[in-house]
Amino acid sequence: MAKPQLVCPAGSLPALKAAVDNGADDVYLGFRNDTNARNFAGLNFDDKAVAEGIRYAHQRGRKVLVAINTYAQAGRFADWTRSVDRAAELGVDAVIIADPAVLDYATKTHPQLRRHLSVQASATSYEAINFCRDKFGIQRAVLPRVLTLAQVENVIRHTEVEIEVFGFGSLCVMNEGRCWLSSYATGESPNTVGACSPAKYVQWEKKPTEMDVRLNGILIDRYGNDENAGYPTICKGRFEVAGATYYAMEEPASLNVLEMLPEIIRIGVSAIKVEGRQRSPTYVAQVTRNLRQAIDAAVAAPEKFAVKPAWMAELGKVAEGSQITLGAYNRPWR
């Protein structure tokens, strides 16, 4: 069986090096602007850092991908085309794009530049993927985390475009970052300004026995002194509903596909992606190292593959809410 590429996140140069050093095949990053969907202060790369990241990765036989995966805003299309131009000039191995207009620009202006369809494009069918192949020459598509494994297999069966799926990281109840909740609360969302719950709207209010966390004045969560306070997003907040307080929309948990790796490999998935450009180099190293070992073991002897407790323990330490899930890949009720 063909070994899928392990695609890992880098929000900084140390994170990129951690991914490469621990076994990533591809590393993906973004520029320091709102053309990427993780546009947080202190994250992402300037030209000098990208050049150093490419040098470091290429010397070790790895590839660097640049996410230009938000949607161009009215009157500012040139900002997105400049990001495409920069990626091409810097010599990246591929760009990851969602906006059809940006894809069209990349296709016509830099035809030699490999193009991947971002998960933000929400292409859940082979028809959508093949359309983007025919119009924009995409060579890989990242599937949204809403399909069962059988549906993923059906997509692969009907396209020659490489298919990339998520293997570990936080989940989202929205259409892969098209956050209507964030947009409703703040007027901004990941697909417009590149940030979920933009930091300028986040408020922390420490009290003697608890801490309130708000987004643009909306109470998202209330943490006791013995609880770890997570970054506030509306979808993963606790709310009072009919007199009970609980995670009304989504309980914090991380996707973890370790146990189904042989099946993912069998159906012909080309790449397995780790979510988390906003996470630390330590997170990147830990997840990359354990997934590298697991993927190699699953390819070498799929019939004998068994998830090692040490892998689960290590990934559990960095799982959101310290919980893991198979997400939509496994829907027994279907």
Among candidate residues 287, 222, 25, 304, the one with its CA nearest the CA of residue 140 = 25
Q: According to CATH, what is the number of the domain 5-171+253-329?
A: 3.20.20.380
Could you tell me which residue, 31 or 170, shows the higher pLDDT?
31
Q: How confident is the model at residue 159 (pLDDT cuts 50, 70, 90)?
A: very high
Task: State whether the Cα torsion 249-254-11-156 is positive or negative.
Answer: negative
Q: How confident is the model at residue 333 (pLDDT cuts 50, 70, 90)?
A: low
Among candidate residues 89, 80, 94, 82, the one with its CA nearest the CA of residue 29 = 94
Distance, in Å, from the CA atom of 118 to the CA atom of 261, rounded to the nearest integer, reads 22
Q: What is the pLDDT of residues 24-74, one digit of tens each?
A: 999 999 999 999 999 988 899 999 999 999 999 999 999 999 999 999 999
Token couple for 70: 């938000």
Q: What is the pLDDT of residues 303-328, one digit of tens each?
A: 999 999 999 999 999 998 888 999 89
Distance, in Å, from the CA atom of 159 to the CA atom of 188, rounded to the nearest integer, reads 35
Q: How confident is the model at residue 227 (pLDDT cuts 50, 70, 90)?
A: confident
Q: How confident is the model at residue 194 (pLDDT cuts 50, 70, 90)?
A: confident
10 in Cβ contact with 31 (< 8 Å) = no
Q: What's the pLDDT at 27?
A: 98
Distance, in Å, from the CA atom of 250 to the CA atom of 235, rounded to the nearest integer, reads 6
Q: What's the pLDDT at 334?
A: 57
Q: What's the pLDDT at 330?
A: 84
Q: What is the pLDDT of residues 136-155, one digit of tens each?
A: 999 999 999 999 999 999 99
Distance, in Å, from the CA atom of 262 to the CA atom of 257, rounded to the nearest integer, reads 10
pTM over 0.85: yes
88 has pLDDT over 90: yes
Distance, in Å, from the CA atom of 311 to the CA atom of 54, rounded to the nearest integer, reads 29
- If you average pLDDT over residues 327-332, what whole number do you get? 83
CATH 3.20.20.380 maps onto the chain at 5-171+253-329
Helix (H, G, I), strand (E, B) or coil at 160: coil
Token couple for 237: 């907040």
Q: How confident is the model at residue 189 (pLDDT cuts 50, 70, 90)?
A: confident
